[in-house]
Amino acid sequence: MSVTSKPQGGTRKIATLDTLSESQIRAIRSIPPHDKAGIVRKVATRPTSMFLDEGYFAREQHAVFKRLPVPVAPSNMLAQPGSVLGHDGYGVPLILTRDREGRVHAFVNACRHKGSKIVETCEPFKAGRVTCPYHAWTYALDGRLAALPREEMFPGIRKEDHGLVELKSREAGGLIWVQLGREAAEDFSTVEDELVADLDALGIGESFPYGRKTFELAANWKLVLEPFLEGYHVQRLHSQSIGQLFADVPSAVHRIGPHTRQVSGKANFEPAMLDVPGENIHKTITHAYQIFPNTVVVTSPYYISLMIIMPRGVDRSIVDYYMLTPTPPDNPTAQDLYARSYELILKVFGTEDFRAAEISQSGLSTGVIDQMIYGGLEVSIPEYYRTLESYLGINDPA
């Protein structure tokens, strides 16, 4: 675990170019004018079995999701000491807490008496302790067993030996990362310093959690992730919503360890647009981060979208969507802007991107397609799969 300054719950101003990290600025300045953007003539394939095979899914769970640190929630869900959050998305019931010293902890949500779930809600709340509803065993927010009724009926029990089971966790870049595999060796090396600096520059940890919605999808988790790694679909799938805001040109793509950062100029982008003093940089460009293995961050002018895509079966995924704003909606203008933005983004992701994943899963499940084909505007997808396959011990098939 690591200790960081507590999230401020919405204190950021609008982002300008000079508020970003040096790495982000270099990436943005590498975007060419749209009329000079090159054409990528490249095709890669992947077998459709990777979206359908139970054995492949089990391999991903063992080698990636139970071994590597994965984002579980943004830090601002535990904004102050004494905050508690239940979490069931990954299939491992968790309790996240921020103790009185400001440290974040991740525990298995199981009482040490009879295994009962202690926190039964996935909404954040404030508490000094958490108590099992079955027999009222009570735990401090650092996991210590603090009290149990009729303690004299348990002769010889040592409370210090019966605290909650803690998983390895770290708070970085405004995210809470957890290693879900209790037996996995502690390893947060994939939480790259450059990535953390980027996320800090975006103000993830200082943002306000304006909106949160959970989606249950009938699709493999990788199909849910794919649209956020390519721009080929934008003018087509989103033709009636946001498609006109973006050009049909390649993004500037950079790798940060196993993670992917894509930077795209919006419609009619010219590099001179970057040098307007005080301009909101996200009116001009969009960042899209794929945080390995399963998390997406997309910037917009007045909010940031965070999506944590959690595999629950070979053809079932859960997505926690968070709309993060730089400040709370503390005036009528902000209230209206955020409300309209939230309604739009839930439509775009929920009825367009997520729907695309589900109809793809439906078609692939027929078994008539042997391979997925990825073209020049989708080169980040096979690049992502090369990273995933390296953890699975699979040689690059492309």
Average pLDDT over residues 133-162: 97
Between 193-202 and 22-29, two packed helices, what is the crossing angle to 10 degrees? 80
Q: What is the pLDDT of residue 8?
A: 46
Residue 7 has pLDDT above 50, yes or no: no
Contact (Cβ atoms closer than 8 angstroms) between residue 2 and residue 170? yes
Q: Between 396 and 21, whose confidence is greater?
A: 21
Percent of the chain with pLDDT over 90: 84
Place of tokens 């492309």: 398
Q: Which domains does the chain have, with CATH numbers?
A: 17-68+208-392 (3.90.380.10), 72-178 (2.102.10.10)
- How far are the Cα atoms of 50, 56, 234, 360, 378 from residue 364, in angstroms, in the given order? 11, 15, 22, 6, 19
- pLDDT tens digit string along 10-28? 555 689 999 999 999 999 9
Residue 146 has pLDDT above 70, yes or no: yes
Within the chain, strands assigned E span 44-47, 70-74, 83-87, 94-98, 104-108, 125-126, 129-131, 138-140, 145-147, 166-167, 169-172, 175-178, 208-217, 252-256, 259-265, 285-291, 295-299, 304-313, 316-325, 371-374
Average pLDDT over residues 356-365: 97
Residue 6 has pLDDT above 70, yes or no: no
Q: What is the largest CA-CA distance in the chain?
A: 79
Report residue 167's pLDDT band, with 50, 70 and 90 as the boundaries: very high
- pLDDT tens digit string along 385-394? 999 999 999 9
Average pLDDT over residues 359-364: 98
Average pLDDT over residues 66-77: 98
Residue 345 has pLDDT above 70, yes or no: yes
Q: Which distant-in-sequence residues (6+ apart) come within 8 Å of 82 by Cβ?
A: 98, 100, 126, 127, 128, 141
Report residue 37's pLDDT band, with 50, 70 and 90 as the boundaries: confident
Residue 42 has pLDDT above 90, yes or no: no
- How many angstroms separate the CA atoms of 40 and 86, rounded? 45
Residue 246 has pLDDT above 90, yes or no: no
Residue 50 has pLDDT above 60, yes or no: yes
Mean pLDDT of the chain: 93
Report residue 101's pLDDT band, with 50, 70 and 90 as the boundaries: very high
| Order of strands across the sheet that contains 285-291 | 208-217, 316-325, 304-313, 295-299, 285-291, 259-265, 252-256
Average pLDDT over residues 55-66: 98
Residue 96 has pLDDT above 60, yes or no: yes
Report residue 247's pLDDT band, with 50, 70 and 90 as the boundaries: confident
Percent of the chain with pLDDT over 70: 96
- pLDDT tens digit string along 181-232? 999 999 999 999 999 999 999 999 999 999 999 999 999 999 999 999 998 8
Q: What is the pLDDT of residue 3?
A: 36
Residue 87 has pLDDT above 70, yes or no: yes
Q: What is the pLDDT of residue 238?
A: 87
